[in-house]
Amino acid sequence: MKHILFIAATLLLITACKKGGTGPAGTANVIYSKWFKPDTYTKDTVFGIWGFNYIQAAPEITQQMLDTATIFTFAKLEGYNPFIWRPGQVGLLPITLTYNTGVVTRDVWSAGYTVGTIRIRMTNDMNIYPGINTSHQFRYIIIPGGKLTGRQAPPTYEEVCRRYNIPE
């Protein structure tokens, strides 16, 4: 009798177990930087447009990451008048700020990526550069991946932090 119960219990365990469905993507491989403040910018010109650049070392950015990951760069542009950029506001680069200093002008902040570095760049459509405030802060978040998803609106900073458990 014990032998029959043992065989029945074993058969029940073997046939009752099955591989479950695929769960949601994990967050273990998400990489994020601390907020950093560029202390100096380098002035350059591209196609006659002056700009200011800052190169930030980012050793986590490998060729594989460039090929397959999603990289977000967020900014706190604390050096602007609070009527142009609210204190504590966080935005996803590229950011375009339009304001009036006697004439309507536009500043564009963008990020470019190469293996091991992130380049923060600011241009002004009037080529007017009285200087760049060193209060601006930036942070990058790298989400490894490999499968394409449909076109979606970019997430907000708060959505990315919440989804991937990133401390703000």
pLDDT the model gives residue 53: 94
CA dihedral for 72, 165, 159, 150, sign (positive or negative): positive
Tens of pLDDT, residue by residue over 90-148, are 999 999 999 988 889 999 999 999 999 999 999 988 887 777 888 999 999 999 985 54
Q: Are 96 and 76 in contact (CB under 8 A)?
A: no
pLDDT at 23 over 60: no
Indicate the pLDDT class of residue 18, thresholds 50, 70 and 90. Answer: low
Sequence ranges of the domains in the chain:
28-147+154-163
Q: What is the pLDDT of residue 14?
A: 46
Give the C-alpha separation, 73 to 120, whole Å.
Answer: 9
**Per-residue pLDDT at 6:** 43
pLDDT digits (tens, 9 = 90+) for 37-83: 999 999 988 888 889 999 999 999 999 999 999 999 999 999 999 99
Residue 10, Cβ neighbours under 10 Å: how many? 10
